[in-house]
Amino acid sequence: MSIKYLSRKVQPLILHIPHASTTIPIRDGYLVGEEILQQEINKLTDWYTDDLFESSEDITVKVDFSRIFCDVERFVDDEQEVMAQYGMGMLYTHTDAGQLMRKVTPNLRRKILEGYYLPHHQRLESAVQSQLDQFGHALIVDCHSFSEIPFERDLNKKTPRPDINIGTDAFHTSQALRDLTHQFFISQGLSVGLDWPYSGTIVPMAYYRQNKRVQSILIEVNRKLYLDAGTCTRILHFNEIKGTLNQYLHLIRSNVNDIFYPINNES
């Protein structure tokens, strides 16, 4: 796990990058060979999102292990996590096709929870609290990509899929943030899905549904715009999409006070 902070007194965004890594730090419990694991990594990794959303102006909180090892965007409690019924909760036990991939013992679950999942969330919470302490509010951009072809375990398989998916939370995504984001990507000639094909956005549990001064929005880029799916390599349009995302981050950063103005005046 890694986190990058800025030293200057300009309010940055918090860029959360959870699914860009391909590293599996502990091989305990896996029942399939390298070929199957690599297939899942190729399919499920949000390839190069750490590069696409790179910004020297903002705080980056990045996960340094693969989601097929531990998915930090899932709830710990399988009763709360809808994807757990498909073997894709915090710890994936099945492939997207439904094949048994890993056996998770209570000891292994505790080891990964305490050594990887919780430390990452503590870092994210620390970044948010630092922004609250300095500026009175914090804004998270949850940075993802998605496949043009729906996964077998996707809850929404409607096609054709949009170029950009905006994920929101009714409590933590203000109308101003939602509208500004939607209008920007439309202005770039991109098709946009609102909470489609994926919904929601990350908020640390310490603030979840409790503090509206913690705002969050999920931005997912359709991989067809920047990735060769067969080779998992960048295509020629990569830098164009990266430039568009850089413009978006600049727009949101420049309008942080306006985004929070109604919230800051609720009390």
Look up the CATH number of the domain holding residue 193. 3.40.630.40
Residue pLDDT, tens place only, 55-71: 999 999 999 999 999 99
pLDDT confidence of residue 258? 87
Contacts of 59 (CB under 8 A, 6+ apart): 3, 4, 5, 6, 12, 13, 14, 15, 127, 131
Q: How far is Cα 165 from Cα 222, in angstroms, rounded to an integer?
A: 8
Q: Which domain holds residue 227?
A: 2-264
pLDDT confidence of residue 4? 47
Number of structural domains (the chain) is: 1
The pair phi, psi for residue 240, each rounded to 5°, is -65, -45
Instruction: Using the predicted structure, report yes or no on whether residue 127 has a pLDDT greater than 90.
Output: yes
pLDDT band at 9 (very low <50, low <70, confident <90, very high): low
pLDDT confidence of residue 102? 98
Whether a cis peptide bond, with omega within 30° of 0, leads into 160 is yes
Q: What's the whole-model pTM score?
A: 0.94
The shares of helix, strand and coil residues in the chain, as percent rounded to the nearest 5, are 35, 15, 50
Instruction: Using the predicted structure, report yes or no on whether residue 8 has a pLDDT greater than 60.
Output: no
Instruction: Using the predicted structure, report yes or no on whether residue 38 has a pLDDT greater than 80.
Output: yes
Q: Poorest-confidence range of 4-8, 138-142, 201-205?
A: 4-8
